[in-house]
Amino acid sequence: SREAKMTKAEFLAAIRGSDIEKRFAAWRGAGDMDASVVADLVDLSGNPDPGVAKAAGEALTTMTHAVGKNPSDPKRAPLAKALAAKPTALTLRLLSNIGGDAEVPEIAKSLGSAALREEAIFALERIPGTLAEDAIVAAYASATDDFK
């Protein structure tokens, strides 16, 4: 039988804890979590403990894969919004899979960051529709020569 869903506090404690079995189980079960854990996971993905950092990043990836590209999944829009609110190379890469028009303005802000612009352009290129295309075109005028 399937275990009961972890609370947010239990989930984050397992990700940051020293028990590698609990940590792995938490990251593998992250698809059951809601978007309220995203900001904490993004912060933990920069943890100096490589095991914690990996588990946090893998949990974010698991959550993204759990919602897939199905726009009708009730967890998809809140997850995409939470990922867009914490731009990192990883969250932008994940947004390339589930982001939509609602996330374009937040993603486009990262085009001005030398550290994030490659991932931002990648995410925008993969979002269908004209809003993402328009954001890329609008950013071109102020882009540095090494990014054009």
What would the pLDDT profile of 35-58 be if each residue is shown by its tens digit?
999 999 999 999 999 999 999 999
Instruction: Please give the average per-residue pLDDT across 74-101, as a whole number.
Output: 96
Measure the CA–CA gap between 143 and 127, rounded to whole angstroms: 20
Which two tokens mark 121? 């352009």
- Look at residue 3 in the predicted model and tell me its pLDDT: 55
As to burial, measured by CB atoms within 10 angstroms (0-12 exposed, 13-18 middle, 19+ buried), residue 140 is: exposed
Spatial CB neighbours of 73, under 8 Å, sequence gap ≥ 6: 67
Percent share of the chain, pLDDT over 90: 82
The distance from CA 63 to its chain's CA centroid, rounded to whole angstroms, is: 9
